[in-house]
Amino acid sequence: MSNFILNASIRNDLGKGASRRLRRENKEVPAIVYGGDKAPQAITLEKTGFYKAIEDEAFFSSVIDLEVDGKKYPVVVRDLQRHPFKPLVSHVDFMRIDAKQEITMHVPLHVANEETCKGIKDEDGELHLLANDVEISCLPKDLPDYLEVDIAELSVGAVLHLSDLKLPAGVTIVALAREEVHDNAILSISQAKVRDEEDDADAGESAAEEGKEGDAE
């Protein structure tokens, strides 16, 4: 599990006008931290450290140490709002967590051994990734940065589902723990579509005929 530390300050100047000023000055990022037995608290994040942290994919699936005016809180990201066309973050929502209570998080899927996959390397297959992340539940200490999917031995025609994932100790998949189980497919290896010379010839003849018809008109 990655270790991220963010520095923040309590924000007393509230309202849309104050948030606009913060974004205009572009020195701090407005945010809020909520949850636990404490009231929601508006904060501002130190911009440089925050923007460096969000370059790492693991930031969004990790427990973060949020230091607010000298007090440290373990939190996770619950929402991140970006500017519609500028590379800027306009607001962040953090949720306080309890080390003794399970949390639900979306963690990314990482495909391993695609280069040596039997179905791709030896059988000319194609990988189709059907899910980019998975919602899991676990204690904060067991939260993984990602889940790995090893496809080295998969052949053409293979389909992996959520139930095929190898999970770290203490981690469960939310969709499989529900009363109505949804064992969705996460990836497949299928035969690559290859256009043969006859198809190319037919396509060329069709295009030529359409051109002649256009000239005649």
What's the CATH class of domain 4-96? mainly beta
Per DSSP bridges, beta strands 28-34 and 89-96 are: parallel
Computed over every residue of the chain, the mean pLDDT equals 86
What's the CATH class of domain 103-191? mainly beta
Q: Contact, 73 vs 96, CB < 8 A?
A: yes
CA 25 to the chain's CA centroid: 29
pLDDT of residue 123: 95
Asked whether residue 178 carries a pLDDT value surpassing 60, the answer given is yes
pLDDT of residue 21: 63
Domain ranges of the chain: 4-96, 103-191
Cα–Cα distance between 78 and 85 in angstroms, integer? 22
What is the average pLDDT across 30-46? 91
Q: Contact, 121 vs 113, CB < 8 A?
A: no
pLDDT of residue 193: 78
- The residue among 137 and 192 whose pLDDT is bigger is 137
